[in-house]
Amino acid sequence: MSILVTGARGGVARHLIGLLREAGQEVRTASSSPGAAEVVCDLADPATFPAALKGVTAAFVYAEPTGAAAFANAAAEAGAEHLVLLSSAAVLDPRADDSPLAKSHLDAERALLAGPVPATLLRPGSFSSNALAWSWPVKAGRPVSLPYPDSHNDPIHEADVADVAFAVLTNPGAPGTPHTLTGPASVTFAEQIDILAAVTGTPIAVEQVSRERWKEEMADYIAGPHADALLDWWEANVDRPAPITGTVERLTGHPARDFTTWAREHADAFRPSA
């Protein structure tokens, strides 16, 4: 078995590559940036597909809808038997077709499912690593701006997503089955901040800001429509615990890592520089 892992610089892909190599699997790493991996594979550029897929039996891909249909066809021509897509739980929203958070993932899912190679869909909710967005104000000793501190989410460790990807790549079971992935508990943003403060030994203040103020602060990083969609989602989940699945444990044999585990592993990212 030869497995192509695209997006090789990403957190999930890095963990997955390590797991596959440790298990003795033949792995080909791919990135859209030349020199960042063994082969160039830009999922928006079909011209890069044949060389990346040559001799591959399975592939792990991220949700880039532009070339998804072409990738599925190229994978079939190369003899691949299974594709695993890193999608998002945002596609479960009934309004996903109109959501800037979900549309690209949904389009990629549809393209792969309509293609000639069986595809398995991984739909993680909120990544624990999203908390890294707070590292800059924390390190600078400034409050973290939160428009909805009591909004719940289901933070999942990137290593757990990689563990699931490893499980379905090496033991496909029933390709085509969608898997919704969550962390082990529903946690509010304010609770995540408290965990980070306890783990780092650094007091972290929270400033509850308006939607408009938060959008201004994030304007260089998150486009307006995406910012509005995030804010709407957070507002809808204030005081509303996120539904939790046991998919990680069912597919990997171990419980999902909690946010405290992630925080301990990344504590240095939040500590002020000496």
The one-digit pLDDT tens for each residue of the chain (274 residues) are 799 999 999 999 999 999 999 999 999 999 999 888 899 999 999 999 999 999 999 999 999 999 999 999 999 999 999 999 999 999 999 999 999 889 999 999 999 999 999 999 999 999 999 999 999 999 999 999 999 999 999 999 999 999 999 999 998 676 778 999 999 999 999 999 999 999 999 899 999 999 999 999 999 999 889 999 999 999 999 999 999 999 999 999 999 999 999 999 999 999 987 6
In this structure, is residue 163 part of a structural domain? no
Residue 138 lies in a domain: yes
Question: 170 lies in a domain?
Answer: no
Neighbours of 260 (CB within 10 A): 16
Decide which of 78, 100, 124 is a domain's last residue.
124
Which of 106, 124, 142 is where one domain is finished?
124
Shared domain for 145 and 232, answered yes or no, is yes
Q: What pLDDT is attached to residue 68?
A: 97
Q: Is 133 in the same domain as 107? A: no
Name the pairing type of β-strands 144-146 and 58-62: unpaired
Structural domain of 134: 125-157+183-242+258-274
Same domain, 57 and 118: yes
One domain, residues 66 and 108: yes
Encode pLDDT of 170-208 as tens digits. Answer: 986 767 789 999 999 999 999 999 999 999 998 999 999
Q: How many domains would you assign to the chain? A: 2
Same domain, 267 and 151: yes
Query: Are 154 and 186 in contact, with CB atoms under 8 Å apart?
Result: yes
Query: Could you tell me if residue 58 is inside a domain?
Result: yes
CATH for 28 = 3.40.50.720
pLDDT computed for residue 174 by the predictor? 66
Q: Do 113 and 130 sit in the same domain of this protein?
A: no
Say if pTM beats, i.e. exceeds, 0.85. Answer: yes
In this structure, are 140 and 270 located in the same domain?
Answer: yes
On whether both 115 and 130 belong to a single domain, the answer is no
Are the C-beta atoms of residues 144 and 60 closer than 8 Å to each other?
no
